[in-house]
Amino acid sequence: MPRTSAYVGREICLTTRHGKEMALALPFSLGLGASLSLSPCNTDQLGTFSGEVERLDDAINTCRRKALMGLEQSGLRLGLASEASFGPHPVVPILAAGQARRLCTPCPRCSAPGWGLLDISPGLTCRTCGTATELTATEIWGCVACGHQVEQPRRDGLSAADPGHCPWCNP
């Protein structure tokens, strides 16, 4: 269990009908110290992947609506939903663990949970000629609560691209 999680001992409402709790429960328990409480709201009313029910909103707003439905039904203060279709796959618990880790990371400006990678900027320069490539040059980290963002170098330390990725050296 994490030492500095604001979620230790908390119950989080998971709004799903499709068994996602199987992949999410352990990473949220071990990574946050929180338990998931399943809220089996009829989320299919917001649209289905198969197209049987038309989706009327974009993925982010649909996901928010799902989470709010679960919170309303459960009376809990913390909610979680996803707008994704996935079955048993070994990468799912890794993604859930990454989400739990992100929720344990506070914003350096407002201290809200969820500081993490928001975007990337391409343009890593070729080490031979200096031409910008399509490879990631910097990462944009930020907070969805207050909007604070910081552009920083790649986490892997790569500071120049191999000429094999260069549009000038290797057209």
pLDDT one-digit tens code per residue, 15-69: 987 778 888 888 889 888 999 999 878 877 777 777 788 878 888 888 889 999 9
pLDDT at 86: 58
Most confident range, picked from 10-19, 79-88, 92-101, 106-115: 106-115
Q: 78 and 139, same structural domain?
A: no
Q: 70 and 39, same structural domain?
A: yes
Q: 87 and 31, same structural domain?
A: yes
Band (pLDDT 50/70/90 cuts) for residue 1 is very low
Write out pLDDT tens, residues 113-132: 889 999 999 999 999 999 99
Q: 46 and 24, same structural domain?
A: yes
Q: 49 and 110, same structural domain?
A: no
- 30-33's contacts with Cβ under 8 Å and 24+ in sequence apart are 30/1, 30/97, 30/100, 31/2, 31/5, 31/96, 31/97, 31/100, 31/101, 31/103, 31/104, 32/2, 32/5, 32/7, 32/8, 32/100, 32/103, 32/104, 33/1, 33/2, 33/5, 33/7, 33/8, 33/9
Q: 29 and 97, same structural domain?
A: yes
Q: 146 and 131, same structural domain?
A: yes
Number of independent structural domains in the chain: 2
| Residue range of the domain that includes 17 | 1-104
Q: 147 and 117, same structural domain?
A: yes
Q: 130 and 70, same structural domain?
A: no
Q: 45 and 6, same structural domain?
A: yes
Band (pLDDT 50/70/90 cuts) for residue 137 is very high
Q: 92 and 12, same structural domain?
A: yes
Rounded to two decimals, the pTM is 0.67
Q: How far is CA 35 from the centre of its chain?
A: 18
- Size of the chain, expressed as the number of residues it contains: 171
Q: 159 and 127, same structural domain?
A: yes
Under 8 Å between Cβ of 140 and 121: yes
